[in-house]
Amino acid sequence: MNRKRSSVWNHFSIKSNTIAKCGYCPQEVSYSGGSTGNLIRHLKTKHIGVHLNRQLREQRDNFVLAQENEDDPIAVTPSNAENAKNIDDVPSSSNVKNQPTLLNYISSVATQRTATVSSASSMPVVSTVTSLSSQTSMSSYIIASKPISISKSKAIDQQITRFIVKHFHPFSLVEQVEFRKLIKMLVPNYTVPTRKTVANSLLMQMYESVYQKVKLDVQNVSAVSITTDAWTSTNNQSFMSVTVHFINSDTQLCSRLLGCFSFTERHTSDELSKFLLSVVNDWGLENMVAAAVTDNAANIKSAIKNNGWRHISCFAHVLNIAVQKGLESVHPIIAKVKGIVEYFKRSTLAQKSSTTNGMRTT
């Protein structure tokens, strides 16, 4: 079993590879995928006073032990023993109503300590009050801010994932210091997920959600058309995408990307035909393709015809070919103009000289 480094494991015991049991209540919480987000949310929601760092808990215990010291004029007597017992009850309970009991106890101890020291010594009362008031961690431990709800936390998780996906940000965004500071300012009680959580959990959840939504959108259509294209990336990897277009029940034209796939086979008409047919069949659209729009490459046109679909040439591709053909007659002029522009773009001295001469002419 992997070593658990997070401080949250100080408050949970491991039941299995995916389930942990809370140390303060009988509830069992899932931590599948190695994420401790659910465990942290459980503590913040159900056990408000519990801090991941045990430092505050140790300070609280030291405060109680100080009352039992034999040199302390105020000990835990039977009259306040019940209140002292409540100190251990409050942090592990989600019932905020128990907090005044502990606060009253601390206040009463402070009052008794001040009175005793004042009568037993000529030391100013201010010094005693100052010594007691230095333990500000007790009040910060008890009076915790209201935790963020699980539903809102999940909504923020989804929005951050959507922001990363739609704007092509790296997963490391969630671990950048300034981004975390921004989120802390906006939602102080929200725990930003780690890069591992985004990649292994949140992204997969969003993919499954979008997949089910698209599957539901294309489930009741009577006919569709598809567009497809292939390209090679800068690192020499071949990809192919397939997009479906249809009119929904509200007579609105809809477009859905069925997938962008790594295509490692040879780009022959037979291989392209098999690939397109398998994608359409996976979505249950095998008998609904009315037309397919592609470029004018011979292999893809043959693949479309092999599947029995109507082929329509891409208008933008045809227009580009027509423009390129029309520019062939002025190609020498274009080459000269391109050479002049490249010279001034590449030479800082030439660019500065042209700017200076232009200013003089003006």
In angstroms, the Cα distances linking 337 to 18, 321, 346 are 66, 22, 14
Find how far residue 161's CA is from the centre of its chain: 4
* pLDDT tens, residue by residue, 190-204: 999 999 999 999 999
> Quick one: pLDDT at residue 198?
94
* pLDDT tens, residue by residue, 248-305: 888 899 999 998 999 888 899 999 999 999 999 999 898 899 999 999 899 999 999 9
> Quick one: pLDDT at residue 117?
44
pTM of whole model > 0.75? no
Query: Residue 292: which of 279, 308, 278 has the closest Cα?
Result: 308
Most confident of 83-87, 118-122, 303-307, 342-346: 303-307
Look up tokens 């961690």; give the residue: 137
Q: Grade residue 312 by pLDDT with cuts at 50, 70 and 90.
A: very high
Determine the Cα–Cα distance for residues 253 and 161; give it in Å rounded to an integer.
Answer: 27
Least confident of 117-131, 143-157, 272-286: 117-131
> Quick one: pLDDT at residue 121?
44
Query: Residue 290: which of 312, 275, 272 has the closest Cα?
Result: 312
* pLDDT tens, residue by residue, 35-75: 888 888 888 888 876 766 554 445 545 544 555 454 444 44
Nearby residues of 258 by Cβ (< 8 Å), 6 or more positions away: 214, 226, 242, 243, 244, 279, 283
